[in-house]
Amino acid sequence: MAPLLKPSFHIFHHHHTRWLVTGLLPLPQTLILLLPRLNHSVSSPIPTFRLHSTVSAAQTQHLDNAGTGSVSSLSSVQQPEYSYQQRIDVNPPKGTRDFPPEDMRLRNWLFNHFKEVSNLYGFEEVDFPILESEALYIRKGGEEIRDQLYCFEDRGKRRVALRPELTPSLARLVIQKGKSVPLPLKWFAVQQCWRYERPTKGRRREHYQWNMDIIGVPDVTAEAELITSIITFFKRVGITASDVGFKISSRKVLQEVLRRYSVPDHLFSRVCIIIDKLEKIPIDEMKKELRSCELSEEIVEELLQILSVKSLAKLEEKLGTVGALDDLKRLFSHVENCGYSEWIQFDASIGFVREGRMRAICGGGRYDQLLSTFGGDDIPACGFGFGDAVIMDLLKEKGLLPELSLNVKNIVCSLDADLQGEAGAIASILREKGQSVDLVLENKPLKWVFKRADRVNAERLILVGRAEWQKGMVAVKYLSSGIQNEVKVDELE
Amino acid sequence: MAPLLKPSFHIFHHHHTRWLVTGLLPLPQTLILLLPRLNHSVSSPIPTFRLHSTVSAAQTQHLDNAGTGSVSSLSSVQQPEYSYQQRIDVNPPKGTRDFPPEDMRLRNWLFNHFKEVSNLYGFEEVDFPILESEALYIRKGGEEIRDQLYCFEDRGKRRVALRPELTPSLARLVIQKGKSVPLPLKWFAVQQCWRYERPTKGRRREHYQWNMDIIGVPDVTAEAELITSIITFFKRVGITASDVGFKISSRKVLQEVLRRYSVPDHLFSRVCIIIDKLEKIPIDEMKKELRSCELSEEIVEELLQILSVKSLAKLEEKLGTVGALDDLKRLFSHVENCGYSEWIQFDASIGFVREGRMRAICGGGRYDQLLSTFGGDDIPACGFGFGDAVIMDLLKEKGLLPELSLNVKNIVCSLDADLQGEAGAIASILREKGQSVDLVLENKPLKWVFKRADRVNAERLILVGRAEWQKGMVAVKYLSSGIQNEVKVDELE
């Protein structure tokens, strides 16, 4: 099979975040990779401890194990006979997460920022099935991709996969819509993606990914729009240009070098595949492979030198004025026009080398050839994928994660079991006015009610007592000040 | 294997909506089932037409097929040789949906109502992996459940399933959290669920489900809270008590009848399993099966009579004052206290008979025994599941779906290719002020720009022209009035 000459950054993103390792080399024309600037020590996620259903209900001690450690002693508890009340495995499947309320609040906080920024940029939200035909990914990435897919044969004997990324689905939908949608399309999504990996420590099999894609714009103004939207997100959550930086490159630069040395165009993809082995195989072995592509020693040295260039000015010094540089310069100028010059940096090696111990936060670029690879019209496209894992680690390390708690405006409680229905009616009145209410559903001592009020961060406690009720009133206590008033039910605000 | 004596309404919901057919019979103590009142003709979804990759890119006609019909002629287009640009299947996998922007806006509108109502009631949002261990569902529903699961063996030889419902995951998380979380828990989720079905016309394999669950409250105040929250949702979207109604029953009533005839308790679940066949097998066959459970002809007739009772008053006439009725009466009284009496109705057959051609909108009830079935503590629980399919059909039929369009505040456009960067800077300024902007990324004729402005519903068009820019100004045109002003860039609001 011929290597795919398709541009895509998503795979690079995956590759660099180790989310998905590509078999065949993608060839983005422009490549954007965003890495944390500081070599901060992001700790690996703690591997989920798995209780293999060895604890029975008879042994009903509460474990208080929120999924991590400290329960290993229980593995030794033997349950000789199978019993129907044998305890299930309380952990989510390997490599997946539950989202209890405290985690869900943070997830919603992050996703709301993704969505609000996308809306600021005039993008429309889309979604696709989490399950797609395996063929979609193999067409894009080659047979080798299957090793990283969470794929299986369904009961109808179809080869399907839990999507590893959103771009192939997006391309599929764009082709399906055809000319019924006017270009350019500006679409975003915040959805879950999956991979399959052999069990290794602390590597998850799912993550959420924010994607923004622009379909139908060939100019670098589209890349600039994507980069500035990511910067807008960072500014909103408090991350600065000293925390993270964009590294930007273009494969056209490499192509230019090869052309200059009269290397035929058809060798370009082969050369890229070899260069992609940089830092994976010894440098001498790589040089040998390059020379086997009819490249002279001089060209090989020149290529490797070009890859080490870290500024556009130096690249221009080396290459002179060439077309490949123009787009990059215009892209930088657009981002600088918005006042964001300190965020971006040229780096010719992006897409080829690993960034040491730093983990990529997001990756993106142009993938003009994907739609035609899928058999659609030749429509230019670019976009990015931004995972939820590395950014959350970074925000945590920088102390930028907000303290989010449940916030209910009112807690309503009857002081008498017989008034439970009346308390429900009061709750109903307040909710119809748009106020949130935690209704106490059982007869509980006041001490318990105050503790609950504190936990749900209630602003007011509304007590339904016999004496007040007979006057058509309830007691309203403002919990921060302690002030308590009797209020007529029909005057409750 | 002994039948599961676990109460659950979700399975009933599935059963009635045909979302999931149960093998072993669940035994909810209280069962709530919500059905459209009117026999409205909800049409079946149109089966997705599948293009089997027979169209090549060489035949690049645009199809304008938004997934339905009118492309069948293309099936006959033969593509004799495999080509890399052969067109992919542009449809989502069988039984799944894409959400292009227009569908996503409606989905978000619906889900926001679900979420806002849940917040009004003080519930906290949670989520779980879409992939769970198959054992979780088999423990709850028995081996037969596997036939309806979208299940498979993963590459690590684990039996997993795309979740058919959210309750088992919720129960798993509650057990995992143990005593670290204070009861009661009030949790909600709006997430996707899957089933596997042999290919039949227009039946989807995924849907989204709104769940609200209360863990730790044994009283019917919890069921009342769930029912009133659903009514709150209906009132918000414009559905009235003449459109839909709750049918409410309790299995305790049946149990009471059996006790009265001194039928031993251990026969209860067997009797329920047989009664569940009502309308599936001939009535005489069912009577025969019941009699084989040591039930006399008299008891069998009495049971069938009880099942036809449609009001609490008539039930009381038949049974006299019994404990089984008390809870039901209190539940009705709580809902009535909130002013919602016209929404609810007693129906003893709920959970046993199909509702003719009407489709259930949602189902819920008490599942006190699920946590102990999973090997957790014996904690009372109840909740409901509310799918996205039937309600959307009903809202559409009632004309209650809003017309939602993209709404971008500003469209910014340069009048000169050289000013593209400056237009980007203007967009950036407005976005930093929190205003949404659709930036025109290419040099386009003004006619195109106005058409685009109309499509994105822009309020203002901001034109960056050479003459104004030199004065530090831009042209601001209010699109509804047509009024146009020159505004200083640093005075842009």
Phi, psi (degrees; rounded to nearest 5) at B362: -160, 160
Pair (A420, A276) in one structural domain: no
Does A406 sit within 8 Å of B124, measured CB to CB?
Answer: yes
- Write the ipTM: 0.84
CB B204 within 8 A of CB B347: no
> Does B145 fall in a domain?
yes
**Among B150, B202, B163, which residue's Cα sits nearest to residue B45?**
B202
In CATH, what number is assigned to the domain containing residue A382? Answer: 3.30.930.10
Task: Say how far apart CA B367 and CA B4 lie, in whole Å.
Answer: 12
Please report, for residues A254, A453, B195, B399, the alpha-carbon distance to residue A447 in angstroms, rounded to integers and kept in the order given: 72, 10, 46, 49
Does A62 sit within 8 Å of B377, measured CB to CB?
Answer: yes
Q: What is the pLDDT of residue B225?
A: 96
> Does B85 fall in a domain?
no
CB-nearest to B126 from A101, A136, A177 is A101
Of the listed ranges A65-74, B125-134, B231-240, B308-317, the least confidently predicted one is A65-74
Pair (A214, A260) in one structural domain: yes
Task: Say how far apart CA B237 and CA B394 lie, in whole Å.
Answer: 11
The arithmetic mean of pLDDT across residues B63-91, rounded, is: 47
C-beta contacts of B477-481 below 8 A and 24+ residues apart: B479/B453, B479/B454
The reply, when asked if residue B167 is annotated as ligand binding, is yes
Of B368, B397, B426, the residue that ends a domain is B397
What's the gap in Å between the CA of A443 and the closest CA on chain B?
10
- Mutual angle of helices B297-307 and B283-291, in 10-degree steps: 130
Does A337 sit within 8 Å of B130, measured CB to CB?
Answer: no
Q: What is the pLDDT of residue A156?
A: 82
How many interchain CB pairs under 8 A, A with B? 335
Pair (A29, A113) in one structural domain: yes
**Among A378, A373, A278, A368, which residue's Cα sits nearest to residue A8?**
A368
Strand, helix or coil for residue B91? coil
Pair (B304, B424) in one structural domain: no
The reply, when asked if residue A213 is annotated as ligand binding, is yes
- Reading chain A (493 residues) residue by residue, the pLDDT tens digits are 222 222 222 222 222 222 222 222 233 445 555 555 533 322 222 222 222 222 222 332 332 333 333 333 333 333 333 445 688 899 999 899 999 999 999 999 999 999 999 999 999 999 999 999 999 998 887 788 888 899 998 888 889 999 999 999 999 999 999 999 999 999 999 999 999 876 566 678 999 999 999 999 999 999 999 999 999 999 999 999 988 888 888 878 778 888 888 888 788 878 877 877 776 778 888 888 888 887 888 888 888 888 888 888 888 888 887 777 888 999 999 999 999 999 998 888 776 654 445 567 888 888 888 899 898 999 999 999 999 988 999 999 999 999 999 999 999 999 999 999 999 999 999 999 999 999 999 999 999 999 999 999 999 999 999 999 999 999 999 999 999 999 999 999 8
Task: Say how far apart CA B363 and CA B13 lie, in whole Å.
Answer: 5
> Does B294 fall in a domain?
yes
CB-nearest to A131 from B93, B221, B224 is B93
**Helix intervals (H) in B214-296:** 221-237, 251-260, 268-275, 283-291
B128 contacts in A (CB within 8 Å)? 92, 98-99
Mutate to test the interface with B, among A127, A225, A418 (most CBs of B within 10 A): A127
User: CA-nearest residue of chain A to B2?
Assistant: A84
Pair (B450, B364) in one structural domain: no
B222 contacts in A (CB within 8 Å)? 441
B85 contacts in A (CB within 8 Å)? 372-373, 375
> Does A1 fall in a domain?
no
The reply, when asked if residue B302 is annotated as ligand binding, is no
Q: What is the pLDDT of residue B196?
A: 87
What's the gap in Å between the CA of A230 and the closest CA on chain B?
12
CB-nearest to A88 from B2, B181, B375 is B375
Supply A164's token pair: 């590893």
Task: Say how far apart CA A251 and CA A28 lie, in whole Å.
Answer: 6
CB-nearest to A126 from B104, B121, B373 is B104
CB B120 within 8 A of CB B232: yes
Pair (A81, A107) in one structural domain: no
CB-nearest to B129 from A57, A92, A374 is A92
In CATH, what number is assigned to the domain containing residue B485? Answer: 3.40.50.800
Whose tokens are 């086997």? That residue is A292
**Helix intervals (H) in A89-200:** 101-120, 134-141, 167-177
Task: Say how far apart CA B433 and CA B431 lie, in whole Å.
Answer: 5
CB A389 within 8 A of CB A207: yes
Pair (B161, B204) in one structural domain: yes
Does A87 sit within 8 Å of B375, measured CB to CB?
Answer: yes
Domain of residue B459: give its range.
Answer: 410-491
Pair (A228, A205) in one structural domain: yes
Of A397, A432, A467, the residue that ends a domain is A397
Does B373 sit within 8 Å of A176, measured CB to CB?
Answer: no
Does A158 sit within 8 Å of B224, measured CB to CB?
Answer: no
The arithmetic mean of pLDDT across residues B315-319, rounded, is: 87
Pairing of β A150-153 and β A159-162: antiparallel
Task: Say how far apart CA B54 and CA B15 lie, in whole Å.
Answer: 38
Q: How many CB atoms lie within 10 A of CB B380?
A: 20
Strand, helix or coil for residue B277? coil
Does A373 sit within 8 Å of B173, measured CB to CB?
Answer: no
Task: Say how far apart CA A212 and CA A114 lie, in whole Å.
Answer: 10
Collect all residues with Cβ–Cβ distance below 8 Å to A481 and sequence separation of at least 6: none
Pair (A424, A365) in one structural domain: no
> Does B60 fall in a domain?
no
- Taking only the tens place, the pLDDT of each residue in B432-487 is 999 999 999 999 999 999 999 999 999 999 999 999 999 999 999 999 999 999 99
How many domains is chain B partitioned into structurally? 2
Supply A313's token pair: 């000015």
- Taking only the tens place, the pLDDT of each residue in B128-178 is 999 999 999 988 877 888 888 999 988 888 899 999 999 999 999 999 999
pLDDT of B300 strictly over 80 = yes
Of B397, B419, B441, the residue that ends a domain is B397
Pair (B177, B316) in one structural domain: yes
What's the gap in Å between the CA of B51 and the closest CA on chain A?
10
Instruction: Please report which confidence band the pLDDT of residue B351 belongs to, taking 50, 70 and 90 as the band edges.
Output: low
Amino acid at site A117? V
Instruction: Please report which confidence band the pLDDT of residue B202 belongs to, taking 50, 70 and 90 as the band edges.
Output: low
The mean pLDDT value of chain B amounts to 80
Q: What is the DSSP secondary structure assignment for residue A87, as one 8-state letter?
A: P
Does A184 sit within 8 Å of B441, measured CB to CB?
Answer: yes
Task: Say how far apart CA B90 and CA B57 lie, in whole Å.
Answer: 13
Q: What is the pLDDT of residue B337?
A: 93
Q: What is the pLDDT of residue A311?
A: 87
CB-nearest to B135 from A55, A85, A88 is A88
What is the distance, to the nearest Å, from the Cα of residue B390 to the centroid of all Cα atoms in its chain? Answer: 8
Pair (A81, A194) in one structural domain: no
**Among A296, A264, A186, A209, which residue's Cα sits nearest to residue A17?**
A209
Q: What is the pLDDT of residue A31?
A: 52
> Does A16 fall in a domain?
yes
Mutate to test the interface with A, among B53, B185, B338 (most CBs of A within 10 A): B338
Q: What is the pLDDT of residue B281?
A: 79
**Among B212, B164, B160, B156, which residue's Cα sits nearest to residue B186?**
B212
> Does A403 fall in a domain?
no
Pair (B377, B474) in one structural domain: no
What's the gap in Å between the CA of A135 and the closest CA on chain B?
8
> Does A428 fall in a domain?
yes
User: CA-nearest residue of chain B to A430?
Assistant: B120
